[in-house]
Structure 1
Amino acid sequence: MSVYVRWFATLVPRTRSKQAETEVPWREGLTPRDILREEGFSEVDTEAIMAVRGDTQTDLDEPLSDGERIEFLVSIQGGATG
């Protein structure tokens, strides 16, 4: 029983595992936020990270299912004004 995790390249060096792809033991109620915390990310860090299930962004507090795949990306905002 696992959740399969893929990390955006710039996040890999900041994870405890230092791996681009990891497998996390699944447990009832496991959320993307839990995985981020377990990999050493602070609450402030999570504000700049988004979780993607399939092709859809998901809430960091949405429980994951056994066997699910999740990807963590850096949320980039901003742009030119005017």
Structure 2
Amino acid sequence: MSTRTDEVERYEHLWQEPAYPHRWVLWDTAGDVLVFDRETNCLVDFDDESVLPDVLGRMRAAGVPESGDYPGRPCA
């Protein structure tokens, strides 16, 4: 049986990758904070959105950058 901790730890790579350059960033979209993958130029998909607050907290504690500016490349 999977626990909430197991679910959160599935996303451990989001806050334990090398600090620079940041692949994942937190994008504050005027009310929602989303995890953005700059390598794929897409949002990170969460199977269970209930883990997002825990993931965001761990990413912030690890120093992952957060901004309201669009963090990606222009879409074609």
TM-score interval for Structure 1 and Structure 2 normalised by the shorter chain: under 0.3
Higher strand share: 1
TM-score by structure 2 length?
0.25
Higher helix share: 2
